[in-house]
Amino acid sequence: MSLADGFVHVDGAAGSLVPYSVASAVGNTMRTAVANRGGPFPASALADELVNAGRAAIADLVGGLPAGVVLGPNMTSLTYTMSRALAKTWQLGDEIVVSRLDHDANIRPWLQAARTAGVTVRWAEVDIETCDLPEWQYDELLNERTRLVAVTAASNAVGTRPDVAAIARRAHEVGALTYVDAVHAAPHVPLDIAELGADFVAVSPYKFCGPHLGAVAADPKLLASLHPDKLVPSPDRVPERFETGTPPFELYAGLAATADYLADLVPTEGTRRERILASMRAAESYEQIIFLRLESGIRAMSHVTILGSAPRRTPTLSITVRGKHPREVNEFLAERGICAWDGDYYATELFGAVGVNAEGGAVRIGLLHYNTETEVDHILEALAAVR
C-alpha cells in the first residue's frame, strides 16, 4: 500500500487506499484474454472463474453463500434494484421502516419504491445529542403490516453502530425483512450476516481496500422469490437475474485479491473466512486505540465540537469548528497534508436532525487500519491551530 504522496489519508469513509496486490490483480487481468461468460474456450472459462471468485470473496467477508451474492457497480444501484424488486411484493396498507441515521442510499430508494407502491413509511429517529439509534423505538414502529426494515450497521458520518441484531429480531417477530447497509461497518468490524439478523447485507469493496464495486448478500432462496426488471435474453437464474450488463471481470479479480489481503493482515491459520474474521477483530482493536487518542484530543479543544457520542462507534467522527465553515476547515487541513472530507457525505437526514446542514455540514475524520498514532498527533496539532 503506497503512502508515498506524503499525505495523511483519513478520508477512508469516502474510499480507502488500495494495496499493491489488489491493483496488480486488476492490471494483470486486463492484460489477459477475458471474454464474456458461457463460451467453450479458455477466455470465457476465465470469466466464469473471476465471477465465482468475486462472489466467494464477499461470502467470506460477510459469512454468506457465494450463490447468494449479487455483484454490481455500487451499493446505491444494487439497493435500487432490490427496492424495486421487493416493492412488487408489497400491497396497499403495507409499511416499511427507515432510519434518520442512514446514508441516503439506504433511505431514498425505499422512499421512492414505497411511494410507487402506495406503502406507508415510518421513521426511526436518532438521539440528537448522542447520534445513537435506540432500538426500543422499533417496538412502536413495527406491526403486522411491516414488510421491510432498512437500517445501517454503522453511520458513515458519525460512526454510530446501532444494535442491528436487536432491531432485526423485532422485525422478524412481525414477519418483516431486514436490509442492512454494512458499507461503513465492513472496513472496521467482523461481519456475520446471521449474527446481524440481516436478510440482505450490502457492502462496497472500495471502502475496505478493494475496487469500485458494490455487493448485496442474501439467502439464495430469498433472492429466488424476487423478480427484478431485466432484459429478456439475460440469465434468469439467481443471483445473475439481479445483475445487468457485462461484468467488470478485472475488478472481480481485484475483489478476490482484496479478500486475500484482509485475510493476511494478521498471521493465523484456518479458512479464508476464519482468517478474515481474525484480521477484522485485530483491526477493530487497533483502530479503537488510535481513535481514542484522536477523540480525547479533540474533546479537549474548546473550539471544536464532535457530533454525537454513541457508545458503539467505528473510528469515524464529524466535527464543527467554532466560527469556521467546514470547507474552510478542510482546506486548512489539506494545506497541512491531511485528506479529510466536509459536507453531509449523503447523511442528509442525520445532519438535518442534528441541525448542521444549513452550516455546510461538518468535517469528517475517518481512521482505518493503515493509519498511525503519528498521523493522529499531526491531525490534533492541525486542529489546535484552526482558530
Q: What is the mean pLDDT of the chain?
A: 97
Q: What is the C-alpha separation between 56 and 22, in angstroms, rounded?
A: 16
Quick one: 54 and 149 in the same domain? Answer: yes
At residue 98, what are phi and psi to the nearest 5 degrees? -120, 170
Is residue 352 situated within a structural domain?
Answer: yes
**Residue 102 CB contacts under 8 Å (≥ 6 apart), including other chains:** 150, 151, 152, 155, 181, 347, 349, 350
Quick one: 244 and 286 in the same domain? Answer: no
Quick one: 112 and 211 in the same domain? Answer: yes
Quick one: 285 and 251 in the same domain? Answer: no
Is residue 242 situated within a structural domain?
Answer: yes
Q: What is the C-alpha separation between 65 and 50, in angstroms, rounded?
A: 16
What pLDDT score was predicted for residue 6? 86
Is residue 364 situated within a structural domain?
Answer: yes
Average pLDDT over residues 284-300: 98
Quick one: 13 and 29 in the same domain? Answer: no
Average pLDDT over residues 124-128: 98
Q: Domain holding 67: CATH number?
A: 3.40.640.10
pLDDT, tens digit, 9 for 90 and up, residues 6-49: 899 999 999 999 999 999 999 999 999 999 999 999 999 999 99
User: Of 231, 263, 295, which one is at a domain's C-terminal end?
Assistant: 263
Cell numbers linked to 377: 498527533
pLDDT, tens digit, 9 for 90 and up, residues 55-71: 999 999 999 999 999 99
Quick one: 72 and 126 in the same domain? Answer: yes
Looking at per-residue pLDDT, the higher value among 7 and 5 belongs to 7
- The end-to-end CA distance of the chain, in Å, is 34
Average pLDDT over residues 127-151: 98
What pLDDT score was predicted for residue 77? 98
Quick one: 238 and 372 in the same domain? Answer: no
Name the least confident of 1-15, 44-58, 198-212, 288-302. 1-15
User: Of 263, 295, 312, which one is at a domain's C-terminal end?
Assistant: 263
Is omega for the bond preceding 228 within 30 degrees of 0, making it cis?
no
Q: What is the C-alpha separation between 317 and 290, in angstroms, rounded?
A: 13
Binned at pLDDT 50, 70 and 90, residue 315 comes out as very high
Q: What is the C-alpha separation between 365 and 28, in angstroms, rounded?
A: 34
Quick one: 245 and 298 in the same domain? Answer: no
Is residue 3 situated within a structural domain?
Answer: no
Closest CA to 367 of 310, 305, 294: 294
Is residue 30 situated within a structural domain?
Answer: yes
Quick one: 43 and 165 in the same domain? Answer: yes
What pLDDT score was predicted for residue 65? 98
Residue 1 has pLDDT above 50, yes or no: no
**What distance lies between CA 230 and its chain's CA centroid?**
26
Count up the domains in the chain and report the number.
Answer: 2
Number of CB atoms found within 10 A of residue 385's CB:
10
What pLDDT score was predicted for residue 3? 59
Quick one: 97 and 232 in the same domain? Answer: yes
Is residue 270 situated within a structural domain?
Answer: no
Q: What is the C-alpha separation between 202 and 226, in angstroms, rounded?
A: 17
Binned at pLDDT 50, 70 and 90, residue 274 comes out as very high
Average pLDDT over residues 360-381: 98
Closest CA to 201 of 225, 188, 212, 185: 185
User: Of 263, 298, 327, which one is at a domain's C-terminal end?
Assistant: 263
Quick one: 12 and 28 in the same domain? Answer: no
Query: What's the per-residue H, E or C state across the chain?
Result: CCCCCCCEECEHHHCCCCCHHHHHHHHHHHCCCCCCCCCCCHHHHHHHHHHHHHHHHHHHHHCCCHHHEEEECCHHHHHHHHHHHHHCCCCCCCEEEEECCCCHHHCHHHHHHHHHHCCEEEEECCCCCCCCCCHHHHHHHCCCCEEEEEEECCCCCCCECCCHHHHHHHHHHCCCEEEEECCCCCCCCCCCHHHHCCCEEEECHHHCCCCCCEEEEECHHHHHCCCCCCCCCCCCCCCHHHCCCCCCHHHHHHHHHHHHHHHCCCCCCCCHHHHHHHHHHHHHHHHHHHHHHHHHHHHCCCCEEECCCCCCECCEEEEEECCCCHHHHHHHHHHCCEECEEECCCCHHHHHHHCCHHHCCEEEEECCCCCCHHHHHHHHHHHHCCC
Q: What is the C-alpha separation between 37 and 45, in angstroms, rounded?
A: 7
What pLDDT score was predicted for residue 5? 83
Cell numbers linked to 296: 480525547
Quick one: 203 and 126 in the same domain? Answer: yes
Residue 351 has pLDDT above 60, yes or no: yes
Cα angle 284-51-223, degrees, rounded to a multiple of 5? 80
Q: What is the C-alpha separation between 262 and 265, in angstroms, rounded?
A: 5
Q: Domain holding 311: CATH number?
A: 3.90.1150.10
Give me the domain span that covers residue 150. 21-263
Is residue 2 situated within a structural domain?
Answer: no
Q: What is the C-alpha separation between 199 and 205, in angstroms, rounded?
A: 19
